[in-house]
């Protein structure tokens, strides 16, 4: 994953895209959680999954 990820800009854009209002006061808290999630996701994304690996959830029609 790109470690130079601009979290401030990402949060602002996603707030606009999803229509979730995030005020200036609220923004640091959201950025903090987003950064924590990104740090965890980095660990997950480091895993080199074989292309034919089936995702975990199984849908039964």
Shortest Cβ distance from residue 41 to another protein (Å)? 4
Shortest Cβ distance from residue 12 to another protein (Å)? 10
Is 48 within 8 Å of 28 (Cβ atoms)?
A: no
Is 13 within 8 Å of 37 (Cβ atoms)?
A: no
Q: Please state, in angstroms and as integers, the Cα–Cα distance from residue 19 to each residue in 8, 28, 41, 45, following that order.
A: 16, 18, 24, 27
Binding positions for another protein, rule: CB under 8 A: 10-11, 14-15, 18-22, 26, 29-30, 32-34, 36-37, 40-41, 43-47, 49, 53-57, 60
Q: Which is nearer to another protein, 6 or 14 (CB)?
A: 14
């Amino acid at each position: 994953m790109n470690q130079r990820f601009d979290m401030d800009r990402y949060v602002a854009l996603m707030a606009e895209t999803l229509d979730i209002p995030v005020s200036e006061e609220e923004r640091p808290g959201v950025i903090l959680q987003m950064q924590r999630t990104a740090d965890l996701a980095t660990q997950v994304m480091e895993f080199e999954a074989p292309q034919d690996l089936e995702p975990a959830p199984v849908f039964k029609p």
